[in-house]
Every structure is written in structure tokens, then in C-alpha cells.
């Protein structure tokens, strides 16, 4: 078993269309913890951030359409609210898994007054020193090293470096920059400023030093529908649980697959009905044959579709690498935006299909006792 964590500055979540794309991307990632920053959603409209498919939501927002942090945590992690601020910049929760407690801290730091901001955060965190597992993630609005975390064409000054109070916080809580720990010589950015034509790695994930051996993977994801790159961390835990197969009934809408399924069954029965095997056994085994066929076809379709998305993401990655070397190249920037538009189109198609499926399930289950009714009763009760 592993714990999947995702941190992303989405640069605004008030647009329903953008929210649908973001939620769809996150749902596809099969994440356990999601931390979104700069939601721009006010306290009055915080309900638009609720998405039970991502998990239980914890929201820190302001009165105005600025700032905003939201953390989603799967309910099987027993998430619990710890603290937040009133400006939509700080949010902390506790989760429990495999008998261990984790403090998850989401941050959207200010451009100005960073020193005072991290000083106050440090004072708050002193009350939580009993947590041995801490994960701090978000937009820190500053870099650790001006030499390693800024574009080569930028002046290597102390401008943009995180303040002293930040490092006092990380030292006292024994936190390490997990991406830099895994990539000591890497030079990648998470935010590209078109105004200054420069890269900076201001989005970061910090963990307690003791968690470092459990980190299986840390990656900076390609930039898609925000001006920031997301960060993804996979934490290795003790394996538990089992898998239960469910048929993808949308396969039966593909006439080519239906014809192949009919031929597979026909060939199976022609071969086995003339044997001495009991007919009930042949019938039961035919279900297993059909299940294997449908799993195969579903895998093929998924690979083709995901392959298409992966190729576009790879082109975005390649474009971002070129842009880090030539941040003033407008041609490279145009190529990246073109591939981002292609990716957004594929995501929109997936979102549209999911909406159709939801409407269909709602129609089929409207007057029946089942999961939909149970979910609605639970929602109304809360």
C-alpha cells in the first residue's frame, strides 16, 4: 500500500469549467491527499469546492476572491481538522494510517511579508511538536537556492529566496525539501513568469527527515490548466486490501468489440460442447472467458487513450525543458500552449463522458434502494 499526495496551485477555481477539468485530472490520479492553493473561492461560496470523490474537504478561505487553500483527504484515513488562518493561507489536518499519525500542512505564502508569515507559522507549529510525521506542501512563494531554483538567465541575487524565519521553522521541525533531496543536482521550475520570462521552483513539499526512506517517488508534473506545475509524492506503506473487478459496460457500445465477443463465445462453445465436460461447468467457464476478454479489451482501450495523453504530456515536458534553457523563446512558449490546449480538449471529453455516466446512473437508480439513495440520505442528514 502507498499514500499518494498531490500539491497544486490552481490559480483560481471559480470557473465551473476549470473546476470540472481540475477535479477530473485529480480523480484520474487516484490520490489519497490533495492540497490545492490559490482557489480564489470566498467563504460564502465554499460549497463549490466540495467533491466527495476526492475525499473529505477542509477549507481555508477569505471573504474576498483571493488566496484560499483546500485539502481533500480520503475518509479511510480518518482525517481531522487541526488549525487554519482567516486569510486563506494556512490549513492543517491530521490523518491516520497503518497506526501512524501524520500532520498535513497546506500553505499559500504571501509575496510580501514572508518573514513575518513564517514566523507566525513557526509559533503555531510549536504546539504540534509531538507529531513525528509532518508533510508541509504548497506555494512557498520563494526559492531555497537562487542558484539551483531560478532560471540561469536571472541575476543570482538573494531576491526571491525564502526568509530566515522559514529555515528556522524547517530546522526546528526537522523538515527536508524532499524533491531536492531526491534530485540534488536537478534544475527544474514549477512556475514560469511570462512577464519576466523566467522559471522558479516556488512550489515545494517538505517532510520530516524520518519519512525520507519511505518516499518512493517525487515528481514535478507537466503544467496543464494552471500557470503552476503540480507536485506528486508517493509514500510507501504496508500493503493491505484486495481488488474487485467490475465490468465496464461502455465496451458493449463499441460494435467492433461486440462482434469480437460474439465470435469468442461462438468459438468457445464450438470447441467445448462436443467434449465430455459437464454442460454446467462449460457454462460457468464461459463467464470467465468473457470476463478475460472484456478485461483485455478494456485494457487495450485504456492504453490507447492514456498513450495519447502521455504523448501530449511528454511534449509539454520537452517544451518546458527547452523553455528553461531559452526562457525568452516565444516559439517554444507557443508550442507548449498548443499542447496544453490539446490536453485540455482530451480532459474535457473525459469530463463530458463522466457527466453522461452520472446522469445515466442517476436515472437508472432514481426509484431504487441502493448506493445513490444511501449517499443522498447521508448528505441530507449531515
Residue 38 marked as a ligand binder: yes
Residue 159 marked as a ligand binder: no
The answer on pLDDT for 39 being more than 70 is yes
The DSSP line for 5-58 is: EEEEE-S----HHHHHHHHHHHHHHT-SEEEEE-----STTGGGG--TTT-EEE
Q: What percent of the chain has pLDDT over 90?
A: 55
- Beta strand 90-97 with 100-108: parallel, antiparallel or unpaired? antiparallel
Residue 310 marked as a ligand binder: no
Lowest mean pLDDT segment, chosen from 44-53, 85-94, 166-175, 249-258: 249-258
What cell was used for 53? Answer: 470523490
Residue 9 marked as a ligand binder: yes
Residue 228 marked as a ligand binder: yes
DSSP helix/strand/coil, 145: coil
- pLDDT tens track for 56-75: 999 999 999 999 999 999 99
The answer on pLDDT for 139 being more than 90 is yes
- pLDDT score for 372: 63
- pLDDT tens track for 345-368: 888 888 887 787 777 767 666 666
CA distances from 97 to 35, 78, 209 (A): 18, 8, 18
Mean pLDDT of 283-301: 87
Taking alpha carbons only, the member of 44, 29, 33 closest to residue 7 is: 33
- pLDDT score for 251: 84
Q: Which residues contact residue 15 at a Cβ distance below 8 angstroms, ignoring those fewer than 6 apart? A: none
pLDDT band (50, 70, 90) for residue 237 = confident
pLDDT band (50, 70, 90) for residue 158 = low
Mean pLDDT of 232-240: 79
What cell was used for 257? Answer: 468489440
The answer on pLDDT for 29 being more than 50 is yes
- pLDDT tens track for 102-123: 999 999 999 999 999 999 999 9
> Considering the domain 2-236 in this protein, what is its CATH number?
3.60.10.10
- pLDDT score for 152: 60
The count of other CB atoms within 10 Å of the CB of residue 340 is: 20
> If residue 231 lies in a helix (H) or strand (E), which one and from where to where?
strand 231-236
Catalytic residue among 203, 228, 339, 343: 228
The count of other CB atoms within 10 Å of the CB of residue 74 is: 18
Q: Where are the domains of the chain?
A: 2-236, 249-373
Q: Which residues contact residue 136 at a Cβ distance below 8 angstroms, ignoring those fewer than 6 apart? A: 105, 107, 173, 175, 205, 206, 207
The answer on pLDDT for 270 being more than 90 is no
Catalytic residue among 32, 62, 139, 177: 139
Lowest mean pLDDT segment, chosen from 45-49, 57-61, 168-172, 375-379: 375-379
228 is catalytic: yes
Mean pLDDT of the chain: 88
DSSP helix/strand/coil, 4: strand
The answer on pLDDT for 317 being more than 50 is yes
- pLDDT score for 240: 46
Q: What is the DSSP letter of 143?
A: B
Burial 226-263 (b: 16+ CB within 10 A, else e): bebbbbbbbbeeeeeeeeeeeeeeebeeeeebeeebee
Amino acid at each position: 500500500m502507498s499514500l499518494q499526495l498531490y500539491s497544486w496551485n490552481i490559480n483560481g477555481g471559480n470557473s465551473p469549467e476549470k473546476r470540472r477539468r481540475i477535479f477530473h485530472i485529480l480523480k484520474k490520479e487516484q490520490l489519497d491527499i490533495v492540497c490545492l492553493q490559490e482557489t480564489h473561492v470566498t467563504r460564502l461560496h465554499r460549497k463549490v469546492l466540495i467533491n466527495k470523490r476526492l475525499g473529505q474537504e477542509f477549507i481555508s478561505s477569505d471573504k474576498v476572491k483571493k488566496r484560499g487553500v483546500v485539502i481533500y483527504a480520503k475518509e479511510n484515513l480518518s482525517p481531522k481538522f487541526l488549525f487554519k488562518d482567516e486569510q486563506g493561507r494556512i490549513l492543517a489536518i491530521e490523518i491516520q494510517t497503518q497506526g501512524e499519525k501524520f500532520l498535513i500542512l497546506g500553505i499559500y505564502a504571501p509575496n510580501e511579508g514572508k518573514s513575518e508569515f513564517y514566523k507566525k507559522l513557526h509559533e503555531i507549529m510549536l504546539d504540534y511538536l509531538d507529531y513525528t510525521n509532518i508533510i508541509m506542501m504548497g506555494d512557498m512563494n520563494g526559492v531555497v537556492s537562487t542558484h539551483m531554483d531560478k532560471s540561469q538567465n536571472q541575476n543570482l541575487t538573494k531576491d526571491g529566496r525564502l526568509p530566515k524565519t522559514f529555515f528556522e521553522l524547517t530546522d526546528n521541525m526537522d523538515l527536508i525539501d524532499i524533491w531536492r533531496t531526491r534530485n540534488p543536482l536537478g534544475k527544474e521550475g514549477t512556475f514560469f513568469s511570462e512577464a519576466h520570462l523566467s522559471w522558479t521552483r516556488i512550489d515545494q513539499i517538505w517532510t520530516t527527515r524520518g519519512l525520507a526512506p519511505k518516499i518512493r517517488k517525487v515528481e514535478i508534473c507537466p503544467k496543464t490548466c494552471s500557470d503552476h506545475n503540480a507536485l506528486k509524492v508517493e509514500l510507501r506503506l504496508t500493503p493491505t486490501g484486495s481488488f474487485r473487478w467490475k465490468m465496464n459496460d461502455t465496451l458493449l457500445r463499441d460494435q467492433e468489440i461486440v462482434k469480437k465477443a460474439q465470435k469468442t463465445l461462438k468459438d468457445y462453445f464450438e470447441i467445448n460442447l462436443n467434449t465430455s465436460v459437464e454442460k454446467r461447468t462449460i457454462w460457468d467457464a464461459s463467464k470467465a472467458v468473457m470476463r478475460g476478454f472484456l478485461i483485455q479489451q478494456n485494457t487495450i482501450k485504456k492504453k490507447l487513450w492514456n498513450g495519447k495523453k502521455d504523448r501530449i504530456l511528454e511534449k509539454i515536458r520537452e517544451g518546458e525543458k527547452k523553455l528553461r534553457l531559452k526562457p525568452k523563446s516565444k516559439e517554444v512558449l507557443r508550442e507548449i500552449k498548443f499542447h496544453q490546449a490539446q490536453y485540455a480538449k482530451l480532459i474535457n471529453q473525459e469530463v463530458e463522458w463522466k457527466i453522461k455516466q452520472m446522469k445515466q446512473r442517476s436515472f437508472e437508480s432514481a426509484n431504487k434502494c441502493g448506493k445513490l439513495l444511501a449517499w443522498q440520505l447521508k448528505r441530507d442528514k449531515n
